[in-house]
Amino acid sequence: MSDTFSIKDKVVVLTGGAGLFGRGLVAAIAATGTKLVIASRDVTKLERVAAEENGKGRSVVAEKLDQGDEASVLALRDRVLKRFGRVDGLVNNSVARPMKSPGAPVAAWEESMRVNATGVFLMTRAFGEVMCRQKSGSIVNIASIQGMVGPSLELYEGTNMGDPPPDYFFHKGGMINLTRFYAALFGRDNVRVNCVSPGGFFNNQPEPFLSRYCSRTFLGRMADDTDLGGPVVFLLSDAARYITGANLPVDGGYSAK
C-alpha cells in the first residue's frame, strides 16, 4: 500500500515555487524523488530555489514562463517533453496579485484575469492534452477558501490591511469549477483533476487579524509552509487514483465552522 503514495521518478510541473505557498510545495514534492520542473516569470528566484533543493540531492529544474501567454505556455510544454519525454503531474500554483484593493484600476483586474484565469486554462489544456495522450496523469489546482466563501471583512477591522480585492475571489471560485470541467473532459483518458483550497497562511499579519482568524479555525492557528504539501503529493499519487473533480479544503476547519 505504501508504494501507491509514492510519486518517485514522476515528472511534475509546478507553476511558481518561490512564493508563500510555492516554496513549501517545492520542498515537499522534490523530497519525494520526483523530477520537478518549476516555472514562473522570475526565473532568477526559481534558480535559487532549484539550487537549494538540488544541494540536498533532489532533482529540480527552473524554467521561464509567462503563464498568461499561450506561446510561453506551449514553449514550456515542449521543453519539458524534450527533456523528459512525458509529464505525470501539473500543479497550478502560480498567482499574480496586481489588484490591491476593491478600488484598483480596471487594468489591474484585467492583468489578474490574464494570469490567474486565462493562464490556468492555458496550462491545464496544454499539459492535460499531453496526459490524455499518455492515458495517465494528475492535475492539482491550488485554489483558496476565498473561492468557496465570501470575505469576512471584520477580520481586517483595526488593521492597515484594508479590504481584500475582488479578483482573487472571482478567479479562485472559477478555478474550483474549472477543476470539475476538466475532471469530466479528461477523465475518459484516465487523467485526474482535483483542487485544494488552502486557508490563510501565516505571513506576519497584524495581531488583531491573527487572533480573529485563529479563533475561526478548529485547529486554532493559521497554516504554515508544511501544511499544503502532503495533500498535494497525495493527489498526485496513485493513492488518489479514484479521486477526481474534488475540492479539498486545507484550512484547519475554517470553512466548516
Rounded to whole angstroms, the Cα distance separating 17 from 42 reads: 10
Of 140, 120, 26, 134, give the one whose Cα is nearest residue 87.
Answer: 134
CA 168 to chain centre: 13
Mention the CATH class of domain 2-152+165-202+224-256: alpha beta
What letter does residue 142 receive in the DSSP assignment?
Answer: E
Local confidence pLDDT in tens for the 257 residues of the chain = 789 999 999 999 999 999 889 999 999 999 999 999 999 999 999 999 999 999 999 999 999 999 999 999 999 999 999 999 999 999 999 999 999 999 999 999 999 999 999 999 999 999 999 999 999 999 999 999 999 999 999 999 999 999 999 999 999 999 999 999 999 999 999 999 999 999 999 999 999 999 999 999 999 999 999 999 999 999 999 999 999 999 999 999 999 98
Of 95, 72, 202, give the one whose Cα is nearest residue 142.
Answer: 95
Say what the pLDDT of residue 257 is.
86
Condensed to tens digits (0 to 9), the pLDDT of residues 97-115 reads: 999 999 999 999 999 999 9
pTM for the model stands at 0.96
Signed CA dihedral, 14, 168, 171, 246: sign only? positive
Q: Give the three-state DSSP class for 192.
A: strand
Of 250, 149, 150, 114, give the one whose Cα is nearest residue 194.
Answer: 250
User: b/e string for 99-125 if b means 16 or more Cβ within 10 A?
Assistant: beeeeeeeebbebbbbbbbbbbbbbbe
